[in-house]
C-alpha cells in the first residue's frame, strides 16, 4: 500500500493525527458567544476540506507523474499545488474562516496545499500565497492557473504571487505529467462526472467514501483515464471497461494496491443503486450515470487486476497494450 507524504499546510491547520477529530472541541461547561461558535465551527470545516483537498492533491500528483508515458498527447507541466477561489455558495462563515487562515478574500486565488518535492515546492511557493498571474497573464479562477501553466511551452513557468503585502515572482521548473487536473468539489454527491474543460471534479463525498488512498487512487485514475483518451463521448459498458483498464494500470504505476479494486467498485455499486442496471432509462436519467454498468464491469475489473498482478510478479513493464 502506498503511503502518500503529508501535504504542507499553514500553521494551525495541520493534519489531525489518527483518532483525532477535526470538529471543534466544545465542552458543556464552555461558554462561547454565538459568533465565537460560528467561527470555531467554520474553522473546523475549513480544516476538514483542506485536508480532503490535500489528500486528493497527493494521490492525483502521484498518478499523473508515474503514468505520463501512458497519457499520449494529454501531457503537460504539473505544478503540485491546490488553489482555491472564494465562492459564496459555501456561505460567508466558511470563507471568512478561509480568509483568516489562508487569506482567500473575494476574488483572490490562494494556495491551500503544496505537494512536497513538487515543482511548486522547489520553486518556493507556499500555502497562503495569492496567485496573481501565470506565464505573464492574469488568472481569474483556479482552472486558469493550471490552463495558463499548461499553455507555457518551454522553460521555467513565471508565476506572480502576493505573499502578505509583498508581491514576488517565482519560476517553476515544470515536470511533465498527465495533463488533466483533479479539483475538489465540496458536496455530498458520490458522482465525479462533471468536467472543467479538460479537467474533472472529485466530490468530497467520494473522498470520504474512499477509506484509504489506495481506494481514492482507483477513482482518480479511472476519471483520468476517461479524460486523457476522450472516452466520455459515447458512454457505455465498453467505454467504462476501457477506462477501468487504463486507470488500473495508472494506479499500479503509482504504487497503489489495485488488488482492492473489485471489492471497492462492488461497494460503489451498492452505494449507487442506479449503477446496478444497464437500463438507465428506468431511472429517468437523460444520460448514462457516472460509474454505471457495474454488473458489466465487475468481471472485467477482476481480469485486469489479475493481468497486472502477473506482470508485477514476473517483473514485466506495466504497459496496458492497446486500449
The contacts of residue 100 (CB under 8 Å, 6+ apart) are 43
Calpha distance 108→60 (Å, rounded): 24
> From residue 98, how far is each of 58, 82, 101, 130, 184 by CA, in Å?
21, 14, 5, 13, 15
The whole-number average pLDDT for the span 148-172 is 90
At residue 3, the pLDDT reads 46
pTM, full prediction: 0.82
The whole-number average pLDDT for the span 28-55 is 76
At residue 40, the pLDDT reads 82
| Confidence bin at 25 (pLDDT 50/70/90) | low
Q: What residue spans define the domains of the chain?
A: 34-178, 182-313
**Bridge-based pairing state of the strands 81-85 and 137-138:** unpaired
At residue 162, the pLDDT reads 92
With 60 as the cut, is the pLDDT of residue 286 above it? no
With 50 as the cut, is the pLDDT of residue 16 above it? no
At residue 152, the pLDDT reads 83
Q: pLDDT digits over 217-247, tens only? A: 999 999 899 888 765 545 566 778 888 999 9
Cβ pair 25, 135 in contact under 8 A: no
Average pLDDT, the chain: 80
255 φ/ψ angles, rounded to the nearest 5 degrees: 90, 15
> From residue 200, how far is each of 22, 194, 216, 230, 287 by CA, in Å?
27, 6, 14, 12, 18
Lowest mean pLDDT, pick from 5-19, 92-106, 119-133, 168-182: 5-19
Calpha distance 263→82 (Å, rounded): 30
Lowest mean pLDDT, pick from 15-29, 180-194, 224-238, 263-277: 15-29
Fold of 34-178: Pdz3 Domain (2.30.42)
Which residues pair with residue 5 across a beta bridge? none
Calpha distance 200→182 (Å, rounded): 5
> From residue 297, how far is each of 217, 241, 265, 266 by CA, in Å?
18, 6, 9, 10
Percent of the chain with pLDDT over 90: 39
The whole-number average pLDDT for the span 263-291 is 63
Amino acid at each position: 500500500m502506498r503511503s502518500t507524504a503529508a501535504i504542507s499546510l499553514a500553521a494551525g491547520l495541520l493534519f489531525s493525527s489518527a483518532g483525532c477529530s477535526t470538529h471543534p472541541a466544545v465542552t458543556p461547561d464552555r461558554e462561547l458567544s454565538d459568533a465565537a461558535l460560528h467561527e470555531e465551527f467554520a474553522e473546523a470545516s475549513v480544516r476538514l476540506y483542506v485536508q480532503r483537498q490535500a489528500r486528493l492533491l497527493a494521490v492525483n500528483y502521484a498518478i499523473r507523474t508515474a503514468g505520463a508515458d501512458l497519457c499520449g498527447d494529454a501531457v503537460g507541466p504539473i505544478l503540485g499545488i491546490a488553489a482555491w477561489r472564494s465562492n459564496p455558495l459555501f456561505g460567508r462563515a466558511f470563507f471568512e474562516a478561509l480568509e483568516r487562515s489562508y487569506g482567500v478574500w473575494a476574488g483572490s486565488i490562494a494556495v491551500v496545499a503544496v505537494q512536497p518535492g513538487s515543482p511548486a515546492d522547489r520553486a518556493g511557493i507556499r500555502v497562503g500565497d495569492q496567485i496573481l498571474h501565470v506565464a505573464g497573464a492574469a488568472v481569474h479562477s483556479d482552472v486558469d492557473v493550471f490552463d495558463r501553466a499548461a499553455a507555457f511551452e518551454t522553460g521555467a513557468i513565471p508565476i506572480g504571487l502576493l505573499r502578505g503585502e509583498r508581491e514576488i515572482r517565482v519560476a517553476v521548473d515544470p515536470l511533465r505529467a498527465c495533463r488533466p487536473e483533479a479539483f475538489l468539489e465540496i458536496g455530498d454527491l458520490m458522482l465525479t462526472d462533471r468536467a472543467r474543460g479538460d479537467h474533472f471534479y472529485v466530490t468530497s463525498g467520494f473522498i470520504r467514501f474512499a477509506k484509504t488512498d489506495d481506494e481514492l487512487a482507483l477513482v482518480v485514475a479511472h476519471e483520468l483515464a476517461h479524460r486523457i483518451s476522450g472516452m466520455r463521448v459515447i458512454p457505455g459498458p465498453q467505454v467504462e471497461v476501457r477506462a477501468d483498464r487504463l486507470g488500473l494500470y495508472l494506479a499500479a504505476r503509482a504504487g497503489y494496491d489495485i488488488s482492492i479494486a473489485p471489492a471497492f467498485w462492488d461497494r460503489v455499486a451498492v452505494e449507487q443503486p442506479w449503477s446496478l442496471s444497464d437500463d438507465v432509462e428506468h431511472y429517468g436519467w437523460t444520460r448514462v450515470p457516472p460509474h454505471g454498468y457495474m454488473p458489466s464491469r465487475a468481471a472485467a475489473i477482476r481480469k485486469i487486476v489479475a493481468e497486472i498482478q502477473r506482470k508485477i510478479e514476473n517483473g514485466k513493464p506495466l504497459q496496458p497494450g492497446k486500449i
